[in-house]
Amino acid sequence: MTEAPQCPICTTPEPLIAEDGFECAACGHAWLPELSDEVHEVRDVNGAVLVAGDDVVVIKELKLNGKSGGVKIGTKIKSIRLVAGDHPIEGKVNGRNIMIIADKVRKA
Ligand SMILES: [Zn+2]
């Protein structure tokens, strides 16, 4: 009795069944079936599991909404939070909250 969810990005129903989850035929977004609103396991670029309160180091420059002055490689982000969605890591850089894709950081 598993109900296929709709795409969390573009809300197209009936996603394709991918190897390790669902894939949206419309926008190409792939996600895990049990995701829903819950935070799922977040792993850094090395596969280490991240938990709330961890410190991470940026390993790929982050561009912030097209604005100049992104987050540079080597920037340490302290005491991250984990949230549901495509950018599961939330942290504070220079007083600003940012959302980060997990494979752009490693555990500090
Ligand atoms: Zn989609």
Distance spanning both ends of the chain, measured CA to CA = 41
Residue 37 predicted with pLDDT over 70: no
pLDDT at 60: 92
pLDDT at 1: 41
Residue 73 predicted with pLDDT over 90: yes
Q: Where are the domains of the chain?
A: 1-36, 42-107
Measured between alpha carbons, how far is 86 from 81 in angstroms, rounded to an integer?
14
Q: Which of 28-37, 46-55, 66-75, 88-97 has the highest mean pLDDT?
A: 46-55
pLDDT at 90: 93
Q: How far is the CA of 106 from the centre of ligand 1 (A)?
A: 28
Q: Which of 86, 105, 108, 89 is nearest to 97 (CA)?
A: 89
Q: How far is the CA of 11 from the centre of ligand 1 (A)?
A: 6
Question: By the 8 A CB rule, do 43 and 66 touch?
Answer: no
- Rounded to the nearest 5 percent, the helix, strand and coil shares of the chain are 5, 35, 60
The set of long-range contacts for 11-15, using a CB threshold of 8 Å and a minimum separation of 24, is none
Pick from 10-14, 53-57, 60-64: least confident: 60-64
Residue 36 predicted with pLDDT over 60: no
On the CB side of 20, how many CA atoms lie within 13 Å of its CA?
0
Residue 6 predicted with pLDDT over 80: yes
Q: How far is the CA of 13 from the centre of ligand 1 (A)?
A: 8
CATH number of 42-107: 2.30.30.40
List, in sequence order, every residue forming a beta bridge with 58; answer none if it has no partner.
105
- The mean per-residue pLDDT over the stretch 74-98 comes to 91
Q: How far is the CA of 89 from the centre of ligand 1 (A)?
A: 21
Q: What percent of the chain has a predicted confidence (pLDDT) above 90?
A: 49
